[in-house]
Structure 1
């Protein structure tokens, strides 16, 4: 299956559309869901195939959550994907009005700023870069991010994660300084990014604290939230119901009980 025949358009930064100027691109940073290539820190307790299946559930839930925000107007759902050539692995997983854009750059920070640059070049008025590891982010967080970015004036919107990173960063301009020199995959990512924004004289809007699911401990937190209706201790609002993820976790639990 070639890129020209997949279900979703691939955005071209060289072909901006004026109609996008009033929209926020809600862009999920995602790897193509291949077993052994995604959610590797969840193996164990999961097998590589189970981890990939769970990753697909995360992607479906996050995309559906975003689509519900976008349908209200003023936003568009996008998957910023890697690697190039694996576009077909996203086929049928996303809402019909989503689009794809390939990632470029070597390090994580480079890919983030390049995605922001490319989406702004496509004509979008602002961009939210969203992780693919947080399927229960409250919809209100996405709605507030979009609303803040559509106000006059420059600012960043950032959603802190309990591990010290962030699950969302929203911008109206690419601002490479927010991604340069950050010690990625450490507990200081959020604080370093906020410090960089303040040093640049930017307004910072902080969203509700949430969490990424990237190891056995956070998988247990997710299971407690979705199967036990246990709101995380740090949460001030209820999370998204994430029905695809909920159903898959329920199936895994039943298989474990039967085993």
Structure 2
């Protein structure tokens, strides 16, 4: 029997002044919020288009926000609430929840439009031999984490939002004896200098597979 796959996306409710704040003042709060919404939709469509497994949108903030309804209109997905006091605890909860229902779980944020279906396929393939897979970000974090068993240790004591997230995560995995595969690094869209990257992707169009 084929193994089941679950794709999870983390997204914040679109509230001006509370999302994409590192884009300020290059963008206004409203423009930064619009950018956030575009990236959430782009990522959601990438997951749905990949057809690799069921898709879940894990939201922080108001789950009734119109953005999340727009995501649901793009294809079949489940809406879930993020649970936890910090990013690490929220990701740990979502992954563990998913692993109760699927053999392999991939969790992504909504800040990396360079993510493609092929990249997701590579992540799943890496789990053939590794217990955990990471998709590094060029800024020192990661854009994807996947697992085929609970990997709780990698979420504890990490300096979330810093350039040392990937290194700290790898160190914690090593200390816990968790085998890890790393994919090629991708660029997030977090800061004003990242905007040309996003504009270029929009002009070229989505890589569908």
- Asked if these proteins are the same fold (TM beyond 0.5), I'd say yes
Whole-Å separation in 2 of the counterparts to 1:50 and 1:64: 21
Once the two structures are superposed, residues 78-112 of structure 1 have per-residue CA deviations (whole angstroms, 9 ceiling, x without a partner) of 111112x4334310224221111110111111111
Once the two structures are superposed, residues 179-206 of structure 1 have per-residue CA deviations (whole angstroms, 9 ceiling, x without a partner) of 0011211111111111222222222111
Measured after TM superposition, the shift of residue 241 of structure 1 is 2.4
Whole-Å separation in 1 of the counterparts to 2:122 and 2:130: 15
Whole-Å separation in 1 of the counterparts to 2:202 and 2:57: 24
Identify the residue that residue 140 of structure 1 maps to in structure 2. Answer: 118
Whole-Å separation in 2 of the counterparts to 1:220 and 1:39: 16
Structure 2, gaps ≥5 residues long:
none
Q: TM-score, normalised by structure 1?
A: 0.72
Q: More deviation in 217-226 or 38-47?
A: 217-226
Identify the residue that residue 166 of structure 2 maps to in structure 1. Answer: 190
- Structure 1 residue 47 and structure 2 residue 28: aligned? yes
Identify the residue that residue 63 of structure 1 maps to in structure 2. Answer: 44
Once the two structures are superposed, residues 212-251 of structure 1 have per-residue CA deviations (whole angstroms, 9 ceiling, x without a partner) of 1111111233234544x6xxxxxxxxxx7279xxxxxxxx
Q: TM-score, normalised by structure 2?
A: 0.88
Structure 1, gaps ≥5 residues long:
1-18, 230-239, 244-259
Q: Which of 39, 54, 79 is matched with 1:100 structurally?
A: 79
Measured after TM superposition, the shift of residue 160 of structure 1 is 0.5
Identify the residue that residue 64 of structure 2 maps to in structure 1. Answer: 87
Specify the SS of the correspondent of 1:87: coil
Specify the SS of the correspondent of 1:22: coil
Counting matched residue pairs gives: 206
RMSD: 2.3
8 Å CA contact 1:44–1:216 kept in 2: the answer is: no
Q: Rg bigger for which structure?
A: 1
8 Å CA contact 2:57–2:79 kept in 1: the answer is: yes
